[in-house]
Amino acid sequence: MTLYIKNMVCDRCIMVVKQQLENLGFRVTAIALGSADVQPEPDAVQLSAVSSALKLLGFELIDNEKDRVVQRIKDLIIEKVHHSDLADNRLSFSDYLSDQVHKDYTYLSRMFSESEDTTIEKFIIQQKIEKVKELLEYGELNMNEIAWKMGYSSSAHLSTQFKTITGLTPSQYKSSDQLPRKSLDKV
């Protein structure tokens, strides 16, 4: 049985969820951001126990199709933005999401907006800005390299978008320690 799980945003989340499910007596046959395949199939009492255990760790079982699709969209965006080099593929997120979820992008966009009170585009921008904050804090790349890595057409475009979202220029952010980064499940 596949369990769909909200707030799985990184490899550590996968590890923690897997460990928790195994502690509850399930064999995890596959696990990825947002889902885990377990055996044996849990009954209602076991599902309640799984839900409670995961909730203590900041995760949540998803039980309806709309929420599953929205979470899948989020997971795909997080995976692309935070765990791959956007410069390598200059992808169209709309095509990518449609291909991965096997649904029309207009439908996905409407469903996401209704559920999240934001658009997919704004969610992508928020994720990119959080990744840029991380890269700025590392200090290993200059703005041109960060802009390229994150799929921006120029460092000026990135800087403008960064200031719109954070209220600071990238250099102001880098020299300031007042604004902490957000955890990915809070973006």
Q: Any idea which of 45-49, 70-74, 87-91, 172-176 has the lowest mean pLDDT?
A: 87-91
Mean predicted confidence (pLDDT) in 148-174: 93
CA dist 12 and 15 (Å) reads 5
Cα 76 to its chain centre, rounded Å, is 7
Q: Any idea which of 54-58, 124-128, 147-151, 179-183 has the lowest mean pLDDT?
A: 179-183
Closest Cα to residue 180, out of 134, 149, 124? 134
Residue 4: strand, helix, or coil: strand
Predicted pLDDT at 115: 92
For every residue of 16-38, DSSP letters joined together read HHHHHHHHTT-EEEEEETTEEEE
Comparison of pLDDT for 114 and 139, the residue scoring more: 114
Predicted pLDDT at 187: 57
Residue 9 has pLDDT above 90, yes or no: no
* Residues β-bridged to residue 36: 3, 31
Domains of the chain: 2-63 (3.30.70.100), 65-187 (1.10.10.60)
pLDDT band at 100 (very low <50, low <70, confident <90, very high): very high
CA dist 50 and 167 (Å) reads 41
Residue 85 has pLDDT above 90, yes or no: no
* Residues β-bridged to residue 4: 35, 62
Judge whether 68 and 43 are in contact, CB under 8 Å. no
Closest Cα to residue 181, out of 143, 129, 116? 129
Predicted pLDDT at 53: 95
Comparison of pLDDT for 36 and 183, the residue scoring more: 36
pLDDT tens string 12-36:
999 999 999 999 999 999 999 899 9
Judge whether 154 and 145 are in contact, CB under 8 Å. no
Predicted pLDDT at 179: 59
Mean predicted confidence (pLDDT) in 36-53: 95
What residues contact residue 97 under an 8 Å CB cut-off, 6+ apart?
73, 76, 77, 105, 108, 120
**Rg of the chain (C-alpha set):** 18
Mean predicted confidence (pLDDT) in 129-135: 93
**Is the entire prediction scored with pTM above 0.75?**
yes
How much is the mean pLDDT over the chain? Answer: 90
